Amino acid sequence: MRATGLLAGKVAIVTGAGRGIGRSHALALAREGAAVLVNDLGSGITGTGADPGPAETVAAEIRALGGAAIADTTDIADWDDCKALIVRAVAAFGGLDIVVNNAGITQYGSIETETDAGWNRTLAVNLTGTAALMHWAARHWASQGPALGRAIVNTSSPAGTNPPPGAISYVASKAAVAAITASAATELAHLGVRVNALAPMARSRMTDAVPKLDAIMRPPETGFDRMSPDNIARLMLYLASPDCRFTGRVLGVDGDDIYLFEGMSAQTHISNRGAPWAHDGLTKALLAVDPQDKAWMIAPGLHVSPGAPRQDVLDAFEKIERGETVQLWKPIDI
């Protein structure tokens, strides 16, 4: 571990740092000279349980390499408890420069099957935990006055920027993280704080739990490991470093590919030239817009476009109720 480096003398907090991407973040920061508070509740991917082992293991790993680190098991889902992370980092290392909001959980379920407990726990960890730590860091920095070199790196997800079905609370939380990143970047600029977010594609306990993703993300026998968490940490390190020259951005990472998201941009614009729309005119104008490309599943294995003729859909329902096989539309894998 280097006594000097890109971040020598800096103090960082990394949440969810006991395993996976968070561990890579903590080690990358330490290798560049930062002192690191390693936060991890040690829960499962759905946010249940607790284990102090992961946080202490990573902190001990950093110290064994000659770096400075302490372990922390605060549950970031509690707004007021997040203040303790700031207090501990400042007390242990004399200040705070970098916050990496990495902790996250998921519940696999649709809007139909989601539960109150699953929804609330997912948003509490992924969204409230991110916002709360940003809040207490901002309060600390405000008490110290403006200074250059401060950075917050949040964690959104490709599931937040391009939401898939099957994890409704997770996609909601990650889309919200992208939104508050842009908002906080403007609010905290006067304190010298840059706020950016990652949308990572890499191996984690979440991907391990999905057989289709686990198969895609296994390490190759030889060559470049596109799905290594270390690829995410490299971009995080740039965003946390003095070399970063922007704020309020969301960047996707997939191996060596980096994507710059442009927010919820409106790619189509239709004007009625200052006059209120009539229904028929609006209907005609919107014919120029591509049909909805998401599919409806009206029965197991049967997906139809929302643009399908209404009578065809009704006929399909009747055939299904009679036990007939419907082959009007080719199933779509969504």
Q: Letter for the amino acid at 297?
A: M
Cα dist from 32 to 3, 24, 103, 233, whole Å? 8, 13, 22, 12
Catalytically annotated residues? 157, 170, 174
DSSP letter at 75 equals -
Cα–Cα distance, 238 to 303 (Å, whole number): 43
CB 202 within 8 A of CB 21: yes
Q: What are phi and psi of 119, to 5 degrees?
A: -60, -50
Residue 95, number of CB atoms within 10 A of its CB: 14
CB 70 within 8 A of CB 59: yes
Cα–Cα distance, 103 to 88 (Å, whole number): 18
Cα dist from 81 to 49, 64, 104, 231, 255, whole Å? 17, 29, 17, 31, 35
Q: Enter the tokens of residue 171.
A: 């996609």
Cα–Cα distance, 172 to 168 (Å, whole number): 6
Q: Letter for the amino acid at 312?
A: D
CB 36 within 8 A of CB 14: yes
Pairing of the two strands 250-254 and 193-201: parallel
Torsion of CA 71, 75, 79, 80, to 10 degrees: -60
Residue ranges with strand state E in 8-73: 11-15, 35-39, 69-72
Q: What are phi and psi of 109, to 5 degrees?
A: -175, 155
CB 210 within 8 A of CB 203: no
